[in-house]
């Protein structure tokens, strides 16, 4: 599946399937959402993932779901940018610290200007189309993202969030194993590689691509889908 520049798409990915996100034409940042295909209320929990694995993810890290489920939704199996690590400015790739760009913040910062290609809107439209639900209902399920290929960090002097040009190049990719049946939502960010501008029609943007692969059965012989966290949900009452 191809995600055209400044748009979003959703795709169903069965448990035990590998899905690869790649830059087919050039450097491009993507915003990733994950949902349980059987229950959109179980979705990617970026905050818990950050607490368990760190601010930037790579091979071996897992994407965890929201409470009360709290189980792996996907595991990163390969990352061509795993070599990047943390640079001299404190920047890294594939972050779970920045939120998706959204039209509400854009309107606040630009005296009410209406811009509709933000990743929040892209993901909203993609989910609405994919599940054939109302746009406003779909929006309630959009959540903080894994910023695929994005290079970000916190400044060492003031602790402020920053972004810089993505090191991703044509052919770079990150690959995941779906741990449960998923709906995967991906937005090709209107910031392009986020080198300078963000959420605009001026940035140079490229498509993103999602490919699905079915492993040989022997490769999954030791794998099993995990159940939700075994808490009784009584909360001491």
Helix (H) / strand (E) element for 126: namely: helix 119-131
For residues 49 and 91, what is the distance between their CA atoms, to the nearest angstrom? 18
Provide φ and ψ at 179, rounded to 5°: -85, -20
Q: Is 212 helix (H, G, I), strand (E, B) or coil?
A: strand
Per-residue pLDDT at 110 = 86
Residue carrying the six token digits 């899905």: 19
Q: How confident is the model at residue 233 (pLDDT cuts 50, 70, 90)?
A: very high
Tokens of 89: 């400015």
Per-residue pLDDT at 115 = 87
pLDDT per position as a tens digit, 169-189: 999 999 999 999 999 999 999
Q: How confident is the model at residue 226 (pLDDT cuts 50, 70, 90)?
A: very high
For residues 137 and 127, what is the distance between their CA atoms, to the nearest angstrom? 10
Q: How confident is the model at residue 197 (pLDDT cuts 50, 70, 90)?
A: low
Helices (H), the chain: 46-53, 103-109, 119-131, 135-139
Q: ∠ CA(166), CA(97), CA(146), 5° rounding? A: 65
pTM of the model: 0.95
Tell which phi-psi region holds residue 23, choosing left (phi > 0), alpha (psi between -120 and 50) or beta: beta
For residues 33 and 46, what is the distance between their CA atoms, to the nearest angstrom? 10
Per-residue pLDDT at 196 = 67
Per-residue pLDDT at 17 = 98
Taking the domains of the chain in order of start, what are their residue ranges?
Answer: 27-33+46-56+87-168+190-203
How far is residue 216 CA from its own chain's centroid? 26
For residues 45 and 49, what is the distance between their CA atoms, to the nearest angstrom? 6
For residues 209 and 26, what is the distance between their CA atoms, to the nearest angstrom? 11
Residue carrying the six token digits 């959703």: 10
What does DSSP assign to residue 52? H
Mean pLDDT of 193-204: 79
């Amino acid at each position: 599946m191809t995600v055209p520049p400044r748009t979003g798409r959703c795709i169903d990915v069965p448990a035990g399937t590998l899905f690869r996100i790649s830059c087919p034409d050039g450097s491009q940042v993507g915003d990733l959402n994950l949902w349980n295909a059987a229950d959109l209320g179980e979705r990617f929990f970026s905050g818990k993932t950050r607490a368990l694995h760190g601010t930037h993810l790579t091979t071996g890290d897992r994407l965890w779901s929201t409470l009360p489920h709290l189980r792996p939704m996907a595991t990163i199996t390969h990352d061509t940018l795993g070599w990047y690590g943390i640079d001299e400015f404190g920047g890294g790739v594939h972050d779970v610290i920045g939120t998706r760009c959204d039209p509400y913040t854009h309107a606040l910062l630009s005296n009410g200007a209406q811009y509709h290609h933000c990743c929040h809107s892209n993901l909203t439209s993609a989910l609405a189309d994919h599940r054939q639900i109302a746009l406003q209902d779909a929006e309630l399920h959009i959540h903080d993202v894994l910023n695929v290929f994005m290079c970000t960090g916190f400044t060492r002097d003031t602790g402020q969030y920053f972004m810089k040009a993505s090191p991703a190049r044509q052919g770079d990719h990150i690959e995941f194993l779906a741990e449960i049946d998923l709906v995967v939502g991906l937005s090709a960010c209107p910031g392009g590689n986020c080198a300078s501008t963000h959420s605009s029609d001026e940035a140079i943007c490229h498509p993103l691509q999602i490919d699905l692969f079915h492993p040989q059965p022997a490769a999954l012989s030791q794998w099993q889908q995990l159940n939700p966290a075994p808490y009784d949900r009584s909360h001491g009452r």
